[in-house]
Amino acid sequence: MARPRSFDPDDVLEIARQVFWQKGFQATSLDEITAASGIAKPSLYAAFGDKHALFLRVLDRYHDGILGWAERVLAQPGPAREAIRQWLTGFIPYCSGEKGQRGCLSINSATDGSLDQAALRKSIERYNRRLEELLRTRLRADREQFKKGFDPDITAHTVMVVHAGLMALAHQTPDSKQVKAVIEQVMGLLA
């Protein structure tokens, strides 16, 4: 028995993600988000809390999206090697060329010194832990396909490092061929 909300919170989170992703947390003003979304500040504050809380919601959403996708790709039948190759390859559009310029929202946030609040660190940490767990689990399961002495745990972490590196260097708009070549070379470690 009250006036209903005039917008879908998910739509606003989607728009906020675009703005935050483009300019970063600090440099994004709420006025820009109200301009992009058409939602006035009091409504944003009522729905999401302050700027940090809004950003946390956006980041969690971003994490969930990537984790869901990773789960699907890494659960594929066939050799672990191919699943992981496909996982890495899937990032190419996001870490090369024009679209890749903004890099990864999570890594951009992790490297932003002004964002070391506990909640954000926790969200990022959890995301990385889960991603690495997916890789590790898959590599462990297919252990016999690899050479003797193959260490799935270290390899999972190495793949995380490569992924982070590709996303960090994405801001220089590298060529997609170059990214592909690096992935192919790294696949040499999965043997």
Partner DNA sequence: GTTATTATGTACTTATAAGTACAGAATAAG
Partner DNA sequence: CTTATTCTGTACTTATAAGTACATAATAAC
d(CA 130, CA 40): 36
Range in contact with DNA (rule: CB under 7 A) among 42-50, 70-78, 119-127, 179-187? 42-50
Q: Report in angstroms how near the CB of residue 41 gets to DNA at its nearest.
A: 4
> Distance between CA atoms of 150 and 182, rounded to whole angstroms?
21
Judged by beta carbon distances under 5 to 8 A according to partner kind, the member of a copy of itself, DNA, none in contact with residue 145 is none
CB under 7 A: which stretch of 27-35, 87-95, 145-153, 156-164 binds DNA? 27-35
Q: Does 18 contact DNA by CB under 7 A?
A: no
Count each helix (H run) and each strand (E run) in the chain, helices first. Answer: 10, 0
Distances (CA, A) of 62 to 18, 34, 37, 126, 138: 11, 20, 18, 13, 23
Site of interaction with a copy of itself (CB under 8 A): 21-24, 26-27, 102-103, 107-108, 110-114, 121, 124-125, 128, 151, 154-155, 157-158, 160-169, 171-172, 178, 181-182, 185-186, 188-189
Q: Closest separation between CB of residue 11 and a copy of itself, Å? A: 22
- Which of a copy of itself, DNA, none lies near 87, with the C-beta cut-off 5 to 8 A by kind? none
Residue 66's nearest CA partner among 20, 10, 124 is 124
Give the C-alpha distances (Å, rounded to integers) separating 94 from 10, 33, 173.
Answer: 22, 23, 10
Return the one option of a copy of itself, DNA, none that residue 30 interacts with (CB less than 5 to 8 A, by type).
DNA
Residues 6+ apart with CB under 8 A from 49: none
Which does residue 94 bind out of DNA, a copy of itself, none, counting CB within 5 to 8 angstroms by kind? none
Least CB distance from residue 136 to a copy of itself, whole Å? 13
Q: What is the DSSP letter of 114?
A: G
Q: Is 169 in the site for DNA (CB under 7 A)?
A: no
* Binding of residue 67 to DNA (CB under 7 A): no
Which partner, DNA, a copy of itself, none, binds residue 47 by CB below 5 to 8 Å per kind? DNA
Neighbour-count burial for 144-169, b at 16+ CB within 10 Å, e otherwise: eebeeebebeebbeebbebbbebbbb
